Structure formats: structure tokens, C-alpha cells
Amino acid sequence: MKIIINTSLMVPIYEQVVDQIKTLIRNGVLKENDNLPSVRTLSKELKISALTVKKAYDLLESEGFTITVHGKGTYVAATNTELLLEEQKKELEADLEQAIQKGRRCGISDEDIRDLFELILEG
């Protein structure tokens, strides 16, 4: 369970937790019926509030990735990893599209946008 929190990022902590747990599930690091760390344990480990962890777990459950049993813990649900990958790609697509549109609004040419992109990807 290597989860890395970057508070300097402008991405909410709970979202970072959700994203990374989804990835752990997709990559098979977390498998069906595996027990996620308890809310308190993870909050201590990541040095964040227990409520923040809980919010992440709530989101994961509402999206069907985990199942929470009162008094017992949170478990990985049966998932279609293929479907999960597609979903994450959709998110990336939205982010990239937003960046590209912003660049265009600023009058930057597609050429320049592509050059920048390649520079970052290979950098």
C-alpha cells in the first residue's frame, strides 16, 4: 500500500487516495476481498485526517470498487480491471483536452502545443 500524498498539488488529498487505490486495484496489487487498511491506520500512515481517508473510502464504495462492513473493515469488491482502465483513460482524456483548449484560447499553435507535450513526456 504505497500511497503518496502531495499536498502542494492542487488535487484534493482524498482524490489522490482514491486514484491511487483504484490503480492498486487495477494493477492487481489489491485483489478481490483484500482488506484495505483501516481508516485510522491509513490516516496515521499518511499523516492526514481520518475523515479525509473516510471520504476517499466512501467514494470508492459509491463507485463500486470496495465494500465496507460495519465493525469489520473495507474490502476490495469484484471488479472488471479492463473497465477501470477505460474509465481512468477517460479522465486523462478530459484533462488533456482541457489543457489543449486553454492553450488554443491563448493563441498557441497546435505545433507548439505538441512540441511542449513531447518535451514533457520524454523529459
Partner DNA sequence: GTGGTCTAGACCACT
Partner DNA sequence: GTGGTCTAGACCACG
Give the footprint of a second copy on this chain (CB under 8 A). Answer: 9-11, 16, 19-20, 22-23, 26-27, 62, 85, 88-89, 91-93, 95-103, 105-108, 110, 112-114, 116-117, 119-121
**Least Å from the CB of residue 24 to a second copy:** 9
Does 105 help bind DNA (rule: CB under 7 A)? Answer: no
Q: Which stretch binds DNA (CB under 7 A): 40-48, 88-96, 98-106, 112-120?
A: 40-48
Q: Which of 14, 22, 25, 6 is nearest to 92 (CA)?
A: 22
Does 54 help bind DNA (rule: CB under 7 A)? Answer: yes
Q: Which does 89 bind (CB under 5 to 8 A by kind): DNA, a second copy, none?
A: a second copy
Contact 66, 57 (CB under 8 A): yes
Does 41 help bind DNA (rule: CB under 7 A)? Answer: yes
Residue 119 cell numbers, joined: 518535451
Bridge partners (DSSP) of residue 69 are 73
Distances from the Cα of 56 to the Cαs of 9, 18, 105, 122, in angstroms? 17, 5, 34, 32
Q: Report the Cα 84 to chain-centroid distance in Å.
A: 11
Cα separation of 53 and 33, whole Å? 19
Name which of 21 and 36 has its Cβ closer to a second copy.
Answer: 21
**Least Å from the CB of residue 112 to DNA:** 25
